[in-house]
Structure 1
Amino acid sequence: MESGSSNLKIFVVEDDEWYQKLLVHTLSLNPDHEVIAFDNAKDCLDKLHQKPDLVTIDYRLPDMNGEELLESILRVSPETAVIAVSEQENVDTAVSMLKKGAYDYLTKTKDIRDRLLHLIANFSKNADLRSTISNLQKEVEQKYDFQNSMIGQSNRIKEVFKLMQKATSTNITVMVNGETGTGKEVVAKSIHYNSIVKEGPFVAVNMSAIPKELAESELFGHEKGSFTGAGQRHKGKFEQAKGGTLFLDEIGEMDINLQAKLLRALQEREITRVGGSETIKTDCRIIAATHRNLLDEMKKGNFREDLYYRLFGLPINLPALRDRDKDVILLAKNFVKSFCEDNGMTVKTLDNAALQKLMAYSFPGNIRELKSIMELAVVMSDNDSIGPDDITFAQTDTVTDIYSENMTMRDYELKIVQVYLKKFDNDIKAVAKKLDIGQSTIYRMLKEVK
């Protein structure tokens, strides 16, 4: 059945000729109903490939009883609803049919027509809702398909795709690490909507945005009157995420005391609301994210070692945009296209000079910054092409600035090395590998400065 429509394909299985005509006539009063009648179970089962929305079945048929036919229908077409119709009002039979998956149970009384029409009306309304929800779910899944949600062809992002794929096949805890603006929440949503818990909710909580004194209540909930302002019981994020995924963003910002309570919740798979005594079982997948180096935070005493290893699970390290080669161009063009389409504008192109300017910039704000820059560029452009003058960077970039200075080649080389040393936290080995020069060369250049 199509979303937003009351069109229904209905099978009527009834061997009593008079009653069959009654049911068919009643159901055909609605012109949107396609009604097909059968006088035995076999003929109905042979036509199940037509995928009826609903089947009414007589409990007593010449070749099969109602319970057997119900089980056969649901085995072949589990999405089909089945209404059992019986001559006698037997509570045990009704309960048995409902337990085995019947949508409802009707008895052949004088008011069956009204009850059947009312039942079909409710089913049609619910079916429309289910269809809408299903379509929305498909849209969400398509939106968060890896290739749709994270545009890129660089080797670094392809490695991320591989790890994300591995994360979808199990409920292993995932730790996403990356600079601000690299798309950590997009990764978390993509994993969720492609995983075995995709039918459940995706609940996100940003630990850096919650006041310290409210963080425990936000995660675990609270009972009425547990503190000033707690006017009613509140379910925390763990309860809200039941059957789905709980995304703990910026986990590195969590207070050290709350970390102990989070560790217990993860180990015991249960929580207790603030001010309460009831133990509540949790059932959600955990994905955590941070822009911090948690190993360094552990050494500083800011992050618990036992919690770190509990959360570590499958690590996914998101590369900074400056390390994704020509993904910058792909993303820029996509942001321009999306912004133009959303605002009813002709899609603008980027000229070569604009592309070169983008490639020379290091994007400290990563993808989030690029999106803002491109949307502004669309607005600033006076024609169908975006040029370098339309692109404005929010802050001065060290790498591009050095080209405007009057320096020797040796000065340029030293400046570049210093920029990368800052970028890689003075890791000389990493800088040497990135710039494809020897570590001794870097040591020598730095020694010359002193």
Structure 2
Amino acid sequence: MTTLKIFLVEDDLFFGETLKYHLKLNPDYDISLFKTGKECLDSIYLKPDIICLDFGLPDISGDILLKKIHEINNSIPIIIISGQEDIEVAVDFLKSGARDYIVKNSHTKDILWNSIIKIRENLQLVNTVEELKEQLEQKFSFEKTIIGQSDAIKTVFNKINKSLNTNINVSITGETGTGKEVVAKAIHYNSDKKNKPFVVVNMAAIPKELIENEFFGHEKGAFTGADSRSIGKFEQADGGTIFLDEIAELDLNLQSKLLRVLQEREVIRLGGKERIKFNARLIIATHKDLAQEVKKGNFREDLYYRIIGLPIELPPLRERGNDILLLAKYFIDLFVKENKMKNINLSKAAKDKLMKYTFPGNIRELKSIIDLACVMCDGKEIFSDDLSFNSINDASFFLSEEKTLKEYTSEIILHSLKKNNNDVLKTAKKLDIGKSTIYNLLQSLELKK
């Protein structure tokens, strides 16, 4: 907050001008002086930050004016300035919503100065909280966080929208790197639980012998080293969302315990007896086909039906068409901003190369490729050679270009030669071909040059 807009409502012009002069010593204060309550009400549209109100106005009494102002905007802090020292009057005003009550005397201007400072500090704190909330909402607004315009991603948007209306469980599936946690956060932070905890448990990252402790917590002395009580993830998520990532990795024995917890909506800490109720939305994610895992006997059927809820399948990046370029541009802009660089563009050849690649690592791989390209380029434009694909030998990418068998054969031989430091005999042995085939190829290439 830079300028603080203050209304002074005072029928004693000398006293009002004295207060105005004193307050204007702070250049950040914009002071407007009114003689009547009507003048103040007629100017409320100017949205004052604070109103300093005389109790004994000629046209409207202070208590009625306070009520009228609150009917228009009950968030405006109001300071009552009165000649009455009656405690009961002051208490009544404070009960009615006045922020402060100041008695008119030789110290009024100083007391008012301090009161306004305190109110301003509170207003700044409120504004900061509101800004943070707004930033949080913008950050996780799923149509900004999940970049894309393809039909495949619009289907995901539609499912996310439907999930926001209820607390139904959500199951997110998709290949590694497709953004399952991003979607889970988008659901949480756009729901009515956005101001409550979002708790993540990654099954693949926790040894199975520690999962129970992570889930349920423990009491002091529950086991060697348990020096104090520990709150489990389900308790932490109470009122909010618990996100169980890579749920298919959960041990079968623990699956039965998880099922009981989800059915009863209560946990018992390790080493404890108290049943602790919790109310949290469940979102799960996996890169595996859970239905197939059930058929294989790796996942409990009853747990499957308990958690499946609203299924959201994330498409692999290779099936999202021009979303690849939209995401590439997003990651370029992000890298440039974070590293305080000038704008970088993608050349046509670079775009073509990205569109032909199959991205086995999906969005996570694309970001890695773009970050490296931003470093390797000349600082103005990313060219085809600046893009390095770690999965360049992926067969689907290799076969994506229109080439003859002879051309593909030549590429394989040349690649193997380079890999074997141009050792013809070693390359021939590795590829199980005659060394004359390699020599003929090399001679042919020399003749073309």
Aligned residues: 402
Measured against aligned partners, the alpha-carbon deviations of 1:302-337 in whole angstroms (never above 9, x if no partner) come to 434444333333221110111112222222233233
17 and 378 in structure 1: CA distance in 2 versus 1, 3 angstrom threshold: closer
Match in the other structure for 1:108: 103
CA 1:21–1:165 in structure 2 vs 1: closer, same or farther (change >3 Å)?
same
Deviation, 1:362, is 1.7
**Amino acid aligned to 2:155:** E
Larger radius of gyration: 2
Name the SS for the 2:191 alignment partner.
coil
In the aligned structure 1, how far is the partner of 2:382 from the partner of 2:344? 7
Residue 49 of structure 1 corresponds to 45
Which of 363, 366, 380 pairs up with 1:367? Answer: 363
Which residue in the other structure is 1:282 paired with? 278
Cα–Cα, structure 1 residues 166 and 274, in superposed 2: closer, same or farther, change >3 Å?
Answer: same
- Correspondence for 2:316 among 314, 320, 329: 320
- 1:161-180 paired onto structure 2 within 5 Å: 161-180=157-176
Distance 1:107 1:377, change over 3 A: closer
Q: Compared with structure 1, are the counterparts of its residues 74 and 203 closer, same or farther at alpha carbon in structure 2 (3 Å cutoff)?
A: farther
Distance 1:39 1:210, change over 3 A: farther
After TM superposition, give the deviation of residue 266 of structure 1 in Å.
4.2
CA contact (8 A) 2:81 2:104 kept: no
Partner SS, residue 364 of structure 1: coil
- Of residues 390-399 and 7-16 in structure 1, the stretch that sits farther from structure 2 once superposed is 7-16
Alignment of 1:296-311 (within 5 A): 296-311=292-307
The amino acid across from 2:170 in the alignment is V
Given that residues 170 and 196 in structure 1 are in contact (C-alpha distance below 8 angstroms), is that contact kept between their aligned partners in structure 2?
Answer: no
Superposed, which structure 2 residues align to 1:239-254 within 5 Å? Answer: 239-254=235-250
Report if aligned partners of 1:89, 1:107 keep a CA contact under 8 Å in 2.
Answer: no
Please report the RMSD computed on the Cα atoms of aligned residues, expressed in angstroms.
Answer: 3.8
Q: How far apart in 1 are the matches of 2:115 and 2:222?
A: 45
Partner of 1:35, secondary structure, is strand
TM-score normalised by structure 1 residue count: 0.74
- Unmatched runs of 5 consecutive residues or more in structure 1: 409-450
Matching of residue 394 in structure 1 with residue 390 in structure 2: yes
The Cα offsets for residues 217-252 of structure 1, whole Å up to 9 and x where unpaired, read as 434444444444444444444444455433332233
Shift of 1:116: 4.4
Answer whether contact 1:15 1:62 (CA < 8 A) is retained.
yes
Going from structure 1 to structure 2, the CA distance change for 1:34 and 1:384 (only over 3 Å counts) comes to: closer
Equivalent of 2:353, from 352, 357, 360?
Answer: 357
SS at structure 1 position matched to 2:201: strand
**Alignment of 1:333 onto 2:333:** no
> What is the CA-CA distance between 1:397 and the residue it aligns to?
0.7
Superposition deviation, residue 381 in structure 1: 3.0
Change in CA separation of 1:323 and 1:45 when aligned onto 2, cut-off 3 Å: same
Quick one: which amino acid aligns to residue 108 of structure 1? Answer: V
- Once the two structures are superposed, residues 71-119 of structure 1 have per-residue CA deviations (whole angstroms, 9 ceiling, x without a partner) of 5444432432344567456579848955x6x374436387766554444
What is the distance in 2 between the residues matched to 1:22 and 1:263? Answer: 72
Query: CA 1:28–1:406 in structure 2 vs 1: closer, same or farther (change >3 Å)?
Result: closer
Please give the secondary structure, in 2, of the residue aligned with 1:334. Answer: helix
Question: Any idea what SS the aligned residue of 2:75 has?
Answer: coil
Distance 1:403 1:204 in 2: 38
- The DSSP-based 3-state class of the residue aligned with 2:285 is strand
- How do 1:63-74 and structure 2 match up within 5 A? 70=66, 72-74=68-70
Q: Is the 8 A contact 1:83 1:103 kept in 2?
A: yes
1:382-413 Cα deviation digits (max 9, x unpaired): 464433332222232111334799759xxxxx
CA contact (8 A) 1:360 1:399 kept: no
Query: Taking structure 2 as the reference length, what is the TM-score of the superposition?
Result: 0.74
Q: Report if the CA contact (8 A) 1:53-1:79 is conserved.
A: no
Given that 2:255 and 2:303 are in contact with CA atoms closer than 8 Å, whether structure 1 keeps it comes out as yes
Residues 94 and 105 in structure 1, CA contact (< 8 A), matched pair in contact too: no
Whether the aligned pair in 1 keeps the contact of 2:163 and 2:187 (CA below 8 Å) is yes
Give 5+ residue unaligned stretches, structure 2: 407-449
Deviates more, 1:386-395 or 1:241-250: 241-250
Query: Structure 1 residues 187, 9: CA separation in 2 closer, same or farther (over 3 Å shift)?
Result: same
Q: Name the aligned partner's letter for residue 187 of structure 1.
A: V
Q: Match of 2:177, as an amino acid?
A: G
Amino acid of the residue matched to residue 358 of structure 1? Answer: L
CA distance in 1, matches of 2:231, 2:108: 44
Q: Cα distance 1:359–1:74, how it changes in 2: closer, same or farther (>3 A)?
A: same
Q: 1:142 and 2:138 equivalent?
A: yes
Q: In structure 2, what is the equivalent of residue 423 of structure 1?
A: none
Could you tell me whether the CA contact under 8 Å between 1:271 and 1:281 is conserved in 2? yes
Is the contact made by 2:350 and 2:384 (CA closer than 8 Å) also made in structure 1? yes
For 2:307, the aligned partner's letter is: L
Q: Which residue of 2 aligns with 1:445?
A: none
Amino acid at match of 2:206: I
Which deviates more, 123-132 or 155-164?
123-132
Following the alignment from structure 2 to structure 1, what is the Cα–Cα distance between the partners of residues 228 and 92?
Answer: 38
CA distance in 2, matches of 1:191, 1:160: 11
TM-aligned CA distance change 1:22 to 1:174, over 3 Å: farther
